[in-house]
Amino acid sequence: MKFPKNLSEKLEARKQNNALRQLSQKQEKIDFVSNDYLGFSKSEKLFEETHQYLIDHHYTQNGATGSRLISGNHPLYTETENYIAKFHQAETALIFNSGYDANVGFFSSVPQKGDLILYDELIHASIRDGIQLSNAKSYKFQHNDFEDLERLISKFNDTSSSIYIATESVFSMDGDTPNLEELISLTEKHNCYLVIDEAHALGVFGEKGEGSVQEMGLHDKVFARIMTFGKGLGCHGAVVLGSKELKDYLVNFSRSFIYTTGLSPHSVATILIGYQHLEQEKNTLLQLRENINFFNQEKQMMGLRPLFVRSKSAIQCAIIPGNEKVKNIALKLQENGFDVKAILSPTVPEGQERLRICLHSYNSKEEISSLLRLLGTFVF
């Protein structure tokens, strides 16, 4: 079959830059790559409880598929959304099929023509894609730089339009966090609407893994929070937390919600049981935090700290410029039994290529120390 020449040229350019993405089978190595921070995705207990919950509540008989506005809105949705809203101290919650769907659905429908979206330059691709589909104008501000953000607000502020500010509480490619108190003070000063993606904070920050915003008691000052379940909760789906009016609006105008088949009863039950486990398994959260602290102490002791982006999250990134160099180091770590992946340009800017190391509650201290010692021998 003939393939378009311009597409072939783009693929060839990726190959020449040593940046071609390829699918690979997960191998049995020590996991420092998955986002399954608490190990929920591999929990037999959680799987069995989900199955039993469906049987006990006779939800196995309600498996109709379709948009939630037609035939897919089985009773489990209401039960789960109410549980999540209470857990996150939010007025309402609306489940989407994925974090990508939630961000695209929100940003493509909520900001209107004449409105303004100001977003952190390192924001996730799903938010960027949603912004591209929006009729609002958009501008990026320098990463976690709120002086630059205020400059943009002052430059474009128009009392007749709404300003939406988009950021993440934990950035997926750096693992760092913004100063949320300073950001909220700024948004209140200029009467802006703050939207925070908490994909990598759920299950990591807060007494029960509620996320960074709630941990700091700032949840009532944020217009919308997006929680993604494919990380700390170990399952598929996401939720937008906000007011009843916001939920009603998304149900009516968010195309990625309206025109898609709803999640199956089993998927929704998995989300519900996952949240229940967050409340029940505080020792798992504490073990994750202990591993994060230990990792930071070890990299300091071994003289590796200058390599890393400053992070107190489960995401730890060692900057190793050059696609070929960082891929070779990742391969050496894999050959020694550690599952670590290189993040290449153009996923990150050229010169910012890195090893992205994800920490989990189930990683041992011996594994963390061994990984860092090996990394030091390959880098220096």
pLDDT for 64 equals: 61
Distance, in Å, from the CA atom of 163 to the CA atom of 156, rounded to the nearest integer, reads: 9
Task: Clarify whether residues 73 and 158 are in a common domain.
Answer: yes
Distance, in Å, from the CA atom of 84 to the CA atom of 160, rounded to the nearest integer, reads: 34
Residue 16 belongs to some domain of the structure: no
3-state secondary structure of 318: strand
Is a pLDDT exceeding 90 seen at residue 238? yes
Q: What is the pLDDT of residues 251-310, one digit of tens each?
A: 999 999 999 999 999 999 999 999 999 999 899 999 999 999 999 999 999 999 999 999
Domain end marker among 280, 303, 318: 280
pLDDT for 281 equals: 85
Task: Clarify whether residues 308 and 183 are in a common domain.
Answer: no
pLDDT for 93 equals: 98
> Number of folded domains in the chain?
2
Indicate the average pLDDT of the chain.
Answer: 94
Residue 20 belongs to some domain of the structure: no
Closest to 346 (Cα-Cα) out of 23, 124, 24, 20 = 20
Task: Clarify whether residues 250 and 275 are in a common domain.
Answer: yes
Task: Clarify whether residues 129 and 199 are in a common domain.
Answer: yes
Q: What is the pLDDT of residues 157-205, one digit of tens each?
A: 776 789 999 999 999 999 999 999 999 999 999 999 999 999 999 999 9
CATH of the domain at 235: 3.40.640.10
Task: Clarify whether residues 194 and 316 are in a common domain.
Answer: no
**Which residue in this structure is represented by tokens 């994800």?**
358
Full residue range of the structural domain in which residue 259 is found: 57-280
Domain end marker among 280, 315, 333: 280
Residue 13 belongs to some domain of the structure: no
Distance, in Å, from the CA atom of 225 to the CA atom of 43, rounded to the nearest integer, reads: 27
CATH of the domain at 290: 3.90.1150.10
Task: Clarify whether residues 101 and 225 are in a common domain.
Answer: yes
Task: Clarify whether residues 260 and 332 are in a common domain.
Answer: no
Task: Clarify whether residues 181 and 311 are in a common domain.
Answer: no
Helix (H) or strand (E) holding 6: helix 5-16
Residue 358 belongs to some domain of the structure: yes
Residue 159 belongs to some domain of the structure: yes
Residue 365 belongs to some domain of the structure: yes
Residue 12 belongs to some domain of the structure: no
Q: What is the pLDDT of residues 103-139, one digit of tens each?
A: 999 999 999 999 999 999 999 999 999 999 999 999 9
Looking at the chain, the whole-number percentage of residues with pLDDT higher than 70 is: 98
Residue 15 belongs to some domain of the structure: no
pLDDT for 62 equals: 61
Task: Clarify whether residues 92 and 111 are in a common domain.
Answer: yes
Domain end marker among 257, 280, 303: 280
pLDDT for 372 equals: 98
Task: Clarify whether residues 296 and 215 are in a common domain.
Answer: no
Q: Which amino acid is at 82?
A: N
pLDDT for 19 equals: 81
Task: Clarify whether residues 104 and 129 are in a common domain.
Answer: yes
Distance, in Å, from the CA atom of 121 to the CA atom of 167, rounded to the nearest integer, reads: 9
Closest to 342 (Cα-Cα) out of 363, 372, 315, 320 = 320
Task: Clarify whether residues 250 and 343 are in a common domain.
Answer: no
3-state secondary structure of 9: helix
